Amino acid sequence: MNTHASRPLRLGFLASRNGSSLRAIVDAARLGRLDVDPRIVISNNSTAAALTFAAEKGLAHACIPTRSDPAAADQALVRALEAAGVELVVLSGYLRRLGPATLARYRNRVLNIHPGPLPRFGGEGMYGRRVHEAVIASGAAESGIAIHLVDEEYDRGPIVAARAVPLEPGETVDSLEARITALEPAFFVETLRRIAQGELKLPPA
């Protein structure tokens, strides 16, 4: 992915709330454990803790509300990412559908993490606790974590990396949610490391 050996992969982040994976990625980069360059954090929510984190870390950050004028927000998002020199966009709990301009400009360059196996436990409305509830209700022997490319359909883009998470005896929605939430940030860091090192190849942009 990173064809420029002299510099790290330039990342932009979209987060609606806390941005747990964002935090882990930025910290890994600052500690020299991940060869990426976090460039900007953008949220659709002005009170998102992710924006506070970005400010504390000295990262460029912006709020681009999407609800009142999604088309204008879509264009503004592209402009902000391009101005920051972003090559790869990381969704860290971004709870809005990306618009056509962003998807066209960053085709095959937007990564999302999903807290369950795809495609079985994905699709519109399947996020967070709802995924864990569906996994438990299905009687499946395992859940998982999937990092996938984002396209026009929820959770249907190509899977880049996946990890199985076997269910434990007596597993509950709460316990499964806690375990997967704890595993997600490190798995995102590991996957980005493999992309930055060229071990994982993304499709052409």
DSSP 30-93: HTTSS-EEEEEEEES-TT-HHHHHHHHHT-EEEE---SS-HHHHHHHHHHHHHHTT-SEEEESS
Is position 114 annotated as part of the catalytic site?
A: yes
- Residue 4, pLDDT above cutoff 50: no
What is the model's pLDDT at position 2?
A: 47
Catalytic residue among 61, 114, 132, 148: 114
Q: What is the average per-residue pLDDT within 121-135?
A: 95
Give the single-character DSSP code of 105: H
The closest of 111, 88, 115 to 177, measured between CA atoms, is 115
- Residue 1, pLDDT above cutoff 70: no
- Residue 3, pLDDT above cutoff 90: no
What is the model's pLDDT at position 17?
A: 96
Task: Identify the three-state secondary structure at position 148.
Answer: strand
Q: What is the average per-residue pLDDT within 154-160?
A: 94
CA dist 187 and 181 (Å) reads 10
What is the model's pLDDT at position 154?
A: 87
With 0-12 / 13-18 / 19 or more C-beta atoms within 10 angstroms meaning exposed / middle / buried, residue 89 is buried
pTM listed for this prediction:
0.94
Q: List domains and CATH numbers for the chain.
A: 9-196 (3.40.50.170)
CA dist 6 and 99 (Å) reads 32
